[in-house]
Structure 1
Amino acid sequence: MTTPPVSELTDRARDIFRVVVESYLESGAPVGSRTISKLSALSLSPASIRNVMQDLEELGLLAAPHTSAGRMPTETGLRLFVDGMMQAAEPSAEERAAIESRVERGGPIEEALAAATATLSGLSACAGLVLVPKREPVLRQVGFVSLSETQALAVLVGADGSVENRVVDLPPGMGHVALVEAANYMNARLSGLTLSDARMRIAREIGQGRAALDSASQELVSRGLAVWSEDPARRPVLIVRGQANLIDAAASADLERVRQLLDELESAEEIARLLDSAREGTATRIFIGSENKLFSLSGSSVIAAPYRGQDGRVVGVVGVIGPTRLNYARVVPMVDFTAQTLSRLIG
């Protein structure tokens, strides 16, 4: 069914539709005609309101979960409301101060991102999400410690002071002297490079026969770089805070949906992929319910906004996840402001 644009709805239909959506987003309950007649300034009888609601239902914008139980917006109706009717409310001074004070407190960037996620969760009563920037470590120093005849511990020290250890398999015939030689070569030739740049340089020098190493040492250097280069893709890049906010009083009537949503939150890789798709936009994006197959069972919504690094390029995404009856008008600007604050911090 093709959803009509807001402009094709009559003034009466738009007014009634707005009241239904806003009341549902506030209460989480279907809205009846008598409620609308009391809430709105429309001089219409409940019977007239019911007729308009029936028309909106036939358009696919409203649905009746039970006979004579009132109407609630469908996901299509929510999309129409968000895109064409919602009047966003800017974050209050208190909300902006809360976000800025938590984000700009100082310390490692990961702590700022976790703080932003927790703050968003608390202010929005949803679960907060943030996609951490994928940063390649810059090599400062490398060492190899023999563990056995077949394995060694590779120690990488990053330019930021971080230290990471990896166990690598040794090529046949690698002794202590060869381990030292390989480490010295890497420190002399690769210090100050990212992992991807280091791999490219090693491959080029080996390919051109300019690597002053025997074949076993060349293989060890390549293996060590490969292990580190593959690792960032496996690291959790998603921070989630405030899952308990998803279990509220209104959710008690639909515990299966909440359970499904909590299960979906365990799929960090899938959610990270969803958030990653928000990198492509320049503004806050809203995913409503089954518009994304990941949340087709739980009927959840995600609001996400990209944040940028020093060069202006998108480095991550911050957002919230909750039921489709989110207060979009309040939460969308809040997510956008958090993204802007993170951009200022990182930039």
Structure 2
Amino acid sequence: MLNQRAKILLKTLVERYISEGQPVGSRSLSKFSGLDLSPATIRNVMADLEEMGFVASPHTSAGRVPTHRGYRFFIDTLLVVKPLDVIEIHQLEDQLYPDHPSRLINSASQLLSELTRFAGVVVTPKRSSAVFRYIEFMALSEKRILLIIVTPEGDVQNRVLFTDRPYNQTELIEAGNFINQNYAGCTFDEIRVRLQSELKQLRHDMTNLMTAAIELGNEALQSNSEAVVVAGERKLLDVHDLASNMTSLKKLFDLFERKTVLLQLLEFSRKAEGVQIFIGDESGVLTLDEFSVVTAPYEVDGKVVGTVGVVGPTRMAYERIIPIVDATARLLSSALSHH
């Protein structure tokens, strides 16, 4: 689509804009491109690039800035990724050593933020099975029962069961004891299969209570099995491009708080190989129109289980951010696999 001259000028423009944050004019392009071109020739090429949607002209300046399309072409075609320096590699290796999985996840998000000065995000591994240590039933009212589920890690989940008839405390204790004695340490999927034959020894209405508890308990643990850990959101307040637009930042912080939409985006990137870059509206998330997201999947024992990433302004040093995200994903994979 572009000849070599246009590619060099576009690459120079994007690099200067990322570095300086100011619209780039013909003089800068002539100085830094290494091309022996007249100002008139450069202006003509810039006009062509603008017509094709790669650059835009702010009203207040004679210079130009890259558009989302310009960034995309730059990343896909012109970008030269810089290897991480030794200090950054050691910092990652020192922090991401086999340890408690939850600390590894938190360390990864914090490291991404510290090294990039943007927000670091990590999707925690999805539990392959929902296992409980014990459960307990507690009557709330005539037909409302609180289901308390405790996982082997000590996490507690509470859910409310709505029943067809009232149960007294003796019946609830009996149901809890039966499940704990026979099924503790099993997944809810395993229990569901066994229930069909083993609960025939109990009264029909007790079977209904336990079946409802198993379904709700499985849903509770699975819904809590995947989360997004975000670190360094406040660093975005120090980014000049973003600090001037508090409305946009507020929407982003709301997104970090809700996490559901962010999780969907990161889930999508988990299915792809290697580093993925979403520029502005490419993410499909309206809130991220003025931001870029750089992600990479990580593995445990060869199976992809989550995603690491960075959320920052579209004007970010992609050649540096990409290897940081890639290295973090690889080292996190190694640490979790050796845990």
Is the pair's TM-score, using the shorter chain for normalization, greater than 0.5? yes
Unaligned runs of 5+ in 2: none
Q: Amino acid of the residue matched to residue 83 of structure 1?
A: D
Q: Is the 8 A contact 2:136 2:147 kept in 1?
A: yes
> In the alignment, which of 86, 92, 105 is matched to residue 99 of structure 1?
92
Map of 2:326 onto structure 1: 336
Partner of 1:299: 290
Partner SS, residue 53 of structure 2: coil
Match of 2:197 among 192, 205, 217: 205
* Partner of residue 133, structure 1: 125
1:110 to 77, 102, 107: 102
Residue identity matched to 1:181 = E
CA pair 113-216 structure 1, distance change in 2 beyond 3 A: same
Question: Which amino acid in structure 2 is aligned with residue 21 of structure 1?
Answer: V
The within-5 A match list for 1:32-51 is 32-51=25-44
Match of 1:246 in 2: 236
Give 1:59's match in structure 2, choosing from 30, 33, 52. 52
* Partner residue, 2:218: 229
- Unmatched segments (≥5 aa) in structure 1: none
* Partner deviation per Cα, 1:185-240 (whole Å, 9 max, x = no partner): 323442332123323432x337xxx5321122212212222222222454471111
| Superposed CA offset, 1:264-307 (max 9, x none) | 33341011100000111121111111112314663211111111
Q: Any runs of at least 4 consecutive aligned residues in structure 1 with deviations exceeding 6 A, and if so which?
A: none
Q: How far off is 1:167 after superposition?
A: 4.4
TM-score (norm 2): 0.89
Shift in Å, 1:84: 1.2
Judging changes above 3 Å, is the alpha-carbon distance between structure 1 residues 306 and 37 closer, same or farther for their aligned structure 2 residues? same
1:139 alignment partner, SS class? coil
Checking the alignment, whether the CA contact within 8 Å between 1:137 and 1:159 is kept in structure 2 is no
- CA distance in 1 between counterparts of 2:208 and 2:80 reads 61
- Tell me which amino acid in the other structure corresponds to 2:262: I
Q: Following the alignment from structure 2 to structure 1, what is the Cα–Cα distance between the partners of residues 181 and 288?
A: 55
The one-letter amino acid of 2:324's match is M
CA–CA separation in structure 1 for the residues paired with 2:288 and 2:121: 20
TM-score (norm 1): 0.87
**What SS class does the counterpart of residue 316 from structure 2 fall into?**
coil
Aligned partner of 2:257 in structure 1 is 266
From the superposition, tell whether residues 237 and 32 of structure 1 become closer, same or farther in structure 2 (CA, over 3 Å): same
Distance of aligned partners of 1:32 and 1:173 in 2 relative to their CA distance in 1, 3 Å threshold: closer
Conserved? CA contact 1:174–1:217, under 8 Å:
no
Question: How high is the sequence identity, in percent, across the aligned residues?
Answer: 36
Aligned equivalents of 1:52, 1:39: Cα separation in 2: 16
Structure 2 residue identity aligned to 1:322: G
Give 1:244 shift.
1.6
Change in CA separation of 1:97 and 1:28 when aligned onto 2, cut-off 3 Å: same
Amino acid at match of 1:327: A
Please, what is the CA RMSD of the aligned residues?
2.4
Q: Quick one: distance in 2 between partners of 1:249 and 1:154?
A: 49
Q: Secondary structure at the match of 1:227?
A: helix
User: Is the 1:134–1:232 Cα contact (8 Å) retained in structure 2?
Assistant: no
- Secondary structure of the 2:133 match is strand
Alignment partner, residue 179 of structure 2: 186
Which of 30, 36, 53 pairs up with 2:23? 30
